[in-house]
């Protein structure tokens, strides 16, 4: 039996009794977890119970995909085999610091650190990935602010012994579940049907990229890219025979967004899409939807991106 997280004030943190669920965040807001919670290895799990989801229903995953200097291929935290055990997907574990040397276990999580910054309480936790096949050795720091219950910050760090990095892509990977089809840019909304007319099959559509001048800017100058469903009522969708139950969306609609303060001039938003659900031949109701949504810019150690899931209506 694995022990559930405990509530401490407004925060949800892992139990100190092992084995324990590695889950952190708001008791009533957004939460982040890692394996052995349900889903593939090598992915951060994102939960949004305020969308009327049961506690184990995921709204999305985030993969870590570092690119070494001089390389043109990413490492893939979800897909690469582990060098620590026979499973596919890099092992993630939590730790007290970015440079912690000990290899940890997912079900022996640290509680995270609660602190106050500029008068706002926050909870942060370091999550380390085992070394990638391309020589990248990275950790991410996930931070929740008490005044922003539907978002968290995530910052990538290069660990001692890692190869130099050109970028470390943090990509939200499961846009097909809520069927995200409206990508909001500065002066237009772009749909998969416009980007990939006639696309079908069981693979990924090619990446589409949008430079900084095309992105929405917040009042503080931050660059923002957001994606939302085009359906008013998810419950009215008709699924093909054989579609797995875990792909059938229920709960409140939401907009998912990435935000980057002080964006590098080379920052781009990048998306791809799918016609069928991942690892299946089941068509997505309504046609192609966005799958991966990400921001990419030259690597800055500790650079934080904000990921949010805000209810619609």
- The answer to whether residue 303 is domain-embedded is no
Question: Total structural domains in the chain?
Answer: 2
Same domain, 9 and 151: yes
Tell me the pTM.
0.98
Same domain, 200 and 261: yes
Among 157, 173, 189, identify where a domain stops: 173
Same domain, 190 and 84: no
Structural domain range at position 63? 1-173
- The answer to whether residue 17 is domain-embedded is yes
Q: How far apart are the first and last CA of the chain?
A: 38
Same domain, 73 and 213: no
- The answer to whether residue 224 is domain-embedded is yes
Q: What residues in the chain have per-residue pLDDT under 70?
A: none
- The answer to whether residue 136 is domain-embedded is yes
- Tell me the sheet residues that pair with 128: 93, 139
Same domain, 105 and 219: no
- The answer to whether residue 34 is domain-embedded is yes
Phi, psi values for residue 192, rounded to 5°: -60, -35
- The answer to whether residue 287 is domain-embedded is yes
Q: What is the pLDDT of residue 39?
A: 96
Same domain, 168 and 284: no
184 CB-near residues (< 8 Å, 6+ apart)? 216, 225, 226, 227, 228, 255
Same domain, 11 and 160: yes
- The answer to whether residue 61 is domain-embedded is yes
27 CB-near residues (< 8 Å, 6+ apart)? 7, 10, 11, 12
Number of Cβ within a 10 Å radius of residue 52: 11
Same domain, 192 and 159: no
Contact 155, 170 (CB under 8 A): no
Among 173, 194, 226, identify where a domain stops: 173
Same domain, 92 and 185: no
Q: Is 236 exposed, middle or buried (0-12, 13-18, 19+ CB in 10 A)?
A: exposed
Number of Cβ within a 10 Å radius of residue 151: 17
Q: What is the pLDDT of residue 197?
A: 98
What 3-state class would DSSP assign to 212? helix
Among 173, 190, 210, identify where a domain stops: 173
Same domain, 86 and 206: no
Same domain, 164 and 184: no
- The answer to whether residue 163 is domain-embedded is yes
Task: Count the helix, strand and coil residues of the chain and give each as a percent rounded to the nearest 5.
Answer: 5, 40, 55
Same domain, 7 and 120: yes
């Amino acid at each position: 039996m694995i022990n559930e997280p405990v509530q401490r004030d407004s925060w949800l943190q892992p139990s100190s009794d092992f084995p324990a669920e590695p889950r952190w965040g708001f008791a009533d807001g957004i939460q982040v977890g890692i394996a052995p919670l349900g889903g593939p290895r090598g992915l951060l799990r994102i939960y949004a119970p305020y969308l009327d989801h049961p506690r184990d229903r995921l709204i999305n995953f985030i993969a870590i995909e570092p690119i070494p200097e001089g390389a043109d291929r990413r490492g893939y935290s979800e897909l690469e085999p582990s060098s620590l055990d026979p499973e596919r997907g890099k092992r993630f574990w939590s730790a007290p610091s970015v440079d912690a040397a000990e290899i940890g276990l997912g079900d022996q999580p640290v509680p995270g650190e609660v602190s106050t910054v500029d008068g706002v309480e926050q909870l942060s936790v370091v999550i380390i990935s085992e070394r990638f096949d391309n020589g990248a050795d990275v950790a991410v720091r996930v931070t929740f602010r008490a005044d922003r219950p539907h978002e968290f910050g995530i910052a990538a760090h290069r660990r001692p012994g890692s190869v130099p990095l050109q970028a470390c892509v943090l990509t939200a990977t499961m846009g097909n579940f809520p069927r995200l089809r409206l990508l909001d840019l500065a002066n237009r909304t772009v749909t998969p049907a416009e980007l990939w007319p006639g696309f079908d099959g069981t693979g990924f559509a090619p990446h589409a990229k949008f430079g900084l001048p095309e992105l929405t800017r917040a009042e503080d100058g931050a660059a923002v890219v957001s994606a939302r469903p085009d359906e008013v009522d998810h419950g009215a969708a008709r699924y093909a025979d054989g579609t797995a139950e875990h792909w059938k969306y229920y709960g409140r609609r939401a907009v998912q967004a990435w935000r980057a303060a002080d964006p590098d001039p080379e920052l781009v938003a990048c998306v791809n899409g799918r016609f069928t659900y991942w690892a299946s031949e089941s068509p997505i109701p309504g046609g192609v939807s966005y799958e991966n949504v990400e921001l990419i810019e030259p690597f800055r150690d500790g650079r934080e991106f904000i990921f949010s899931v805000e209810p619609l209506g």
